[in-house]
Structures are given as structure tokens and as C-alpha cells.
Amino acid sequence: MELDSIGVNNTTSHNVRYDPDFDPSSDDDDSPPFDPRNPRSAFSLFPLENLLYCEDCHQIRCPRCVLEEIVSYYCPSCLFEVPSSTVKTEGNRCTRNCFQCPICFASISVVSNSDQVTAPTGPYSLTCSYCHWSSKEIGLEFDKPANLTAQFAKQLKAAAAENPKPKYAEFSTYEENFARLKSHYTSQGIGAAGSGTGGLGVGRGATDDYGTSPGTLSRLMGLYTGGGHVGKRNVSGLSARGVGRDANGKKTELTEMEDVEIVGDEKDIIDRLIQVEFDETTTQAQNLCQSRQPKFKSQLRPIATLLRTKRSKRCRACRHILVKPEPKVQSTRFRIKLVAMNYIPAINISRLDPTTSYHSLPPLSTHQFLLTVTNPLFDPISVSLSTPQKTPGKYPSIVTILCPEFEVGANTDAWDEVLKEDSSGEKKSRRGRGDRDRSDGTVWDSGRNWSTVVIEERDEEDEKVVQVPIFVRIEYEAEVGMDSGDVGDVPGGDGRKEKKEHAYWCVLYLGKIGRMHANYKYLLPRRGVIHA
């Protein structure tokens, strides 16, 4: 089947979630057709590969309806598994030698700056092999090619101490300001000191005339909030608010920071902006990755690589595990992996007329596509497809599925098909475009576990992608106990069959209607002949 150009999106039960009246088993006419043009549809449509399936709920589960749990943390660059206890303090970033280029975000590597090729010596720098950025440009060099993060931090610290004109002044301003601010508040004991832990406001509280001892900031902020302590005391005046007492009973008060930073004219930045090239200013994307939002490229720091996680996923409704990867980083195996592809038929679409371009379907004409349903189940399924007659929107396309109800065979052994074809060659003969009347509601083609039907689309003008919402309903009979997991109750299966059903909306992209050409009048009859 040709897949190259068409994305098939399956919706999930999200329709149900957002529309409580939607019942997959109810009649189609009751619920309005799914509108792929609604911007919200972008959040409920997923490719089939992204969907999971809960065997207990018999429902498709999308990335939004699972709960995730982190199994292990690792650096995608050096594949080091990071113990969860250190992850947070390290900022979820690799603290070994892995960095990303601040310009192009490729991962960068350590190279020696010396000319000796045979026995490289220091100093070393980080160099991007994609955009050739080098940490030398910002004056960052390392003595050893290992443990770069620690060396980097050391250099920053040293530079910060290097007053009055620190080498890394631009690097450290934001963090320093924050540290200053924090120590200011810490020194004042701003926190809810009475609660004990936390480190802020420790050493106060016993002599406080409130039951608990919230810190000064806490008190000031909680002034009118009724946040616990306010109501305990007769409000005699504002004077008591924002005022704490230290251990000696002396009043302390939250004061403003002495050396607040006054707004300057930022002349240095403007002067620099006037001198530099456009290319030397940072893009927004580069800026967002840096904590200090620098204006110029020379202020960018290499970015430590973000850690990634392996996660297990649970069904949000029944909490059963749907995906459980092996915790080991190098392993790509899964202990449990219930993906929807193994339960839900795949729908593919391809053009009937190979000369048609998906990117510019001739406007105002009829196009035919082949819609193939492939069954992953070991039981034959009966499929019924329904679609609104006109696609939603101002300039609708008229869509007809020529054979809306059909059977798809079971996903049996692949050899079966070969053997079957030998015996019944007449199935093969259905293929091809003869002058057979295709509107007779028959299947266009079928094989072992797939069937193909024709879908016809007649479009209006307008340059747009034709998206066809299709309501798919699948019915099949499966052996009881086959997929509910309770094999113990039904040992070996007693051959009793149970009817099962799936129903969901999916959206097909048929193609993009081309622009109306000035000479479309001439084009139209020719197209007409082809499709007649």
C-alpha cells in the first residue's frame, strides 16, 4: 500500500471525554460529525502509532489519557543513568561532559586546542561540529577533557570573584542578583518559620506573640488574607503587621533591600547594538534556553544536556499498566507494551489514479481514492464506515464511500494468503480498473487481512487540505478470555465467542486542492474523461 503522502489520524476516546453525550454505541445520527477543522481537534487527533490500548477498558488510550511514572533518568548523550536522588539538585541536566551548542542546539564535543594530533593536550574547548561554534569564543577553555561541568562552574565562580570587572560579568548578573535578593529575604526570616523546617527564619518564633511564628514577609503578605494567624488577634492596628521579633524579643521588620538595582539607561547595550552585526544578536529560541536572556551571542553559554526519562504509562481510568519499559538505559525492550496498532485496524489511503498529485488536486472535479483497512486481530472483523455527506466547513467536499460495510479477514499466518491465492484466483481478478461499475457497493480489492474500498470526493474551489472525518465501527467475535487476561477462569477457552465492538472517529487527509488555474476550463473536461 502506498503510504507516502497521506497521514491517517485516528481519534481516540477524547470525543467521549469532552462530549459526555457521545456514546460510541449509539446511533451516528445523534451526535454531530467530528469536525477536523475545529482547532481543538488538533489536540484529540493522534496517529495510530501514538495510541495505546487498555485491555481492561477495551478502549484506545491516547497520550493524554494515560498517567506516567518515571522509571529511570538518563542522559541521552552519554547514556549515563542518573540516580533519582541527585536529579533535581543537578537541575535535570547532565553533570558530566554533555553540552548542547547554544547557537544551533546540536550536541557539542570536547576538542583539544593544541596542534598536536598524536598526543592532544590542553587546553580543551567545546566545539560544535555543526555550526562550528566554539567555547573559545566566550573565553571558556578547560584544562582537562573530563568533568567539564565542574570546571565550568569553577571558572564561573572564579570569574565572579574577580572584581571589579569580572570576566563573566554578563554571565553572573542574573544569578547573582537572585542570590542577593534571596539572602536579603533569608536574613530577614521571611518564611513560615513556625513550621520548623526549611531553613528560612530559623531561630525565631519562641517569643513571638503569635501562636505560630510566620516570618515577616509571610506576615505582611498574609495581612488581609485570613491566612491562619491573622484572625487570632484583635486587630489593633497595622503597626504589628510585617513586624516580627527576633530571639531577644527585639522587633525585626521586613525591610526593603538596601541596594536595589536602579533602572539605568542601558547605554552599553544600545551602543553595542549599534556596532554589532545582525547575526551577533541572539534569536528568541537561543534566548529562551538561557536563564539570563542575553542579548548578544557572545553572552551565550553552552547548555548542559537535559536528562530524559523512561516512563511507564497507566490507563487513567483503570490504572492498569499499558507500557512498562526496562529500566536499563541501553535496553530498548518493554516489559509491557499495549499499543493500539495491535488492536485497531490501520486505515491507509492511496490514490486510484496515479497521475494525480496529492498536493494539487484539480478543483471542481471528482477524485477517487482507495481506502484500505488492515486487520491486526486474529479474528475476522466487519467494518462499517460512515462519513458526513459533506465535509465540514464553508466549502465542503462531497464524500462518498462506495462500499461502506465490508468484512476484513483475520490476521492469520502470512503463508495462508499465498496458499489461498493459489486456490481462489478469482479474488485477484477484481483488481484493476476495468469498466466495472464501481458504485455497486462491493469491495474493490481484498487480501488476507485487508480490504480496500473506493472513496470518492468531489471538491469545491478553495485551496485547502481535504480532511474527511470518518466514523469507524468494527465488530468482531473473539473468544472469551482471550484478551481479558483471566485465563485461569476459562482454562484453554471453551470456544465460546463474545461479540466485541470498537467505534471511533478518524480523519483522513485526502490531499490538497490545487489552485484554480486560469485555464481550468480546459483542464476540467479532460479530468472528467478520466474519471468517467
Partner 1 sequence: MDTSSSHLSGYRSSPRTTTSYKPSSTPLAPRAYNYTSGSGLTQSEDPVVIEIGTRYLRAGFANEAAPRCVIPYTEDMWRRVGDKVVDSGKRGGTMLIHKAPISSETAQTKKKSTRKSRGELWQYDLRSLDTGLVEDLIERALREAYNKYLLVDSKTKKVVLPLPPLLPTILIKTITNTIFTQFHPPTITYFSAPVLCTVSAGLRSALVIDIGWHETVITPIYELRVIGGLVGAAGRTKRAGKLLRKKTGEILENLLVEKGIEGKKLQENHVEELVHRVVWCENYEVRKLERELWRKADRSKSPIPGTSLPGTHASTKPIFSPAGQATMLIPLITTDSHKPLSINIPLSTLSLPVEHAFFEATTSNDSYDGYDGDEPDQDELPLPQLLYKSLLACHIDVRAACLSRIVIVGGPSNIPGLKKRIIDELHALVQENGGWNTVKITQSARVRRRGASPTVVTEGEDERPPPPPPKDDVPPPLPPPKFLDEPLKLSPAEPAKEDVKGESAEENTNIFGSHNRIRKYKELEERENPKPSQPPGFIQGVKSLGTWAGGSIVAGARVRGICEVERDKFLSAVASGGMGLPNNML
Tell which positions 47-106 bind partner 1, by CB under 8 A.
47, 49-50, 63-64, 68-70, 73, 84-85, 87-88, 91-92
- Answer yes or no whether residue 225 interacts with partner 1 by CB under 8 A: yes
Residues 312-341 that bind partner 1 (CB under 8 A): none
Smallest separation, CB 283 to partner 1 (Å):
6
Cβ closest to partner 1, residue 129 vs residue 187:
187
Q: Of the candidates 26, 114, 121, 291, which one interacts with partner 1 according to CB under 8 A?
A: 291
Residue 108, amino acid: I
Among 22, 34, 46, 444, binds partner 1 (CB under 8 A): 46
Q: Phi and psi of 521, rounded to 5°?
A: -60, -35
Write out 305-372 in H/E/C secondary structure: CECEEEEEEEECCCCCEEEEECCCCCCCCEEEECEHHHCCCEEEEEECCCCCCCCCECCCCEEEEEEE
Instruction: Scan residues 125-184 and list those touching partner 1 (CB under 8 A).
Output: 174-175, 177-179, 181-182, 184
Instruction: Tell the smallest beta-carbon distance from residue 391 to partner 1 (Å).
Output: 15
Least distance between partner 1 and beta carbon 516 (Å): 10
Residue 32 contacts partner 1 per CB under 8 A = no
Whole-angstrom CA distances from 261 to 19, 24, 180, 217, 328 are 52, 61, 11, 20, 49
137-165 b/e (C-beta count within 10 Å ≥ 16 → b): ebebbbeebeebbebbeebbeebbeeeee
Task: Specify the length of the chain in residues.
Answer: 532
Check: CB of residue 459 under 8 Å from CB of residue 361.
yes
Binding residues for partner 1 restricted to 442-501, rule: CB under 8 A:
462-463, 465
The string of DSSP letters for 446-513 reads E-SSEEEEEEEEE--SSS-EEEEEEEEEEEEEEETTTTTS-TTTSTT--S-EEEEEEEEEEEEEEEEB
C-beta neighbour count of 417 within 10 angstroms: 15
187 binds partner 1 (CB under 8 A): no
Query: Shortest approach of partner 1 to residue 392 CB, angstroms?
Result: 13
Which span sits near partner 1 by CB under 8 A: 154-162, 186-194, 322-330, 444-452? 186-194
Binding string, residues 244-283; x marks residues near partner 1 by CB under 8 A: -------x-xxxxx--xxxxxxxx-xxx-xxx-xx--xxx
Q: Are 507 and 470 in contact (CB under 8 A)?
A: yes
Closer of 106 and 288 to partner 1 (Cβ): 288
Residue with cell 570573584: 161
Residue 356-395 contact track with partner 1, rule CB under 8 A, x = bound: --xx------------------------------------
Which residue lies nearer to partner 1 by CB, 87 or 370?
87
Minimum gap (Å) between residue 250 Cβ and partner 1: 10
Give the Cα separation of 137 and 258 in Å (integer): 37
Piece of 52-60, 235-243, 409-417, 478-486 that binds partner 1 (CB under 8 A): 235-243
CB of 113 to partner 1, least distance (A): 31
Reported as type and span, the H/E element at residue 53 is strand 52-54
Nearest approach, Cβ of residue 119 and partner 1 (Å)? 40
Residue 478, Cα to own-chain centre: how many angstroms? 34
The neighbour count for residue 351, using CB atoms within 10 Å, is 19
Nearer to partner 1, 358 or 476 (CB): 358
State in angstroms the smallest separation of the CB of 423 from partner 1. 38
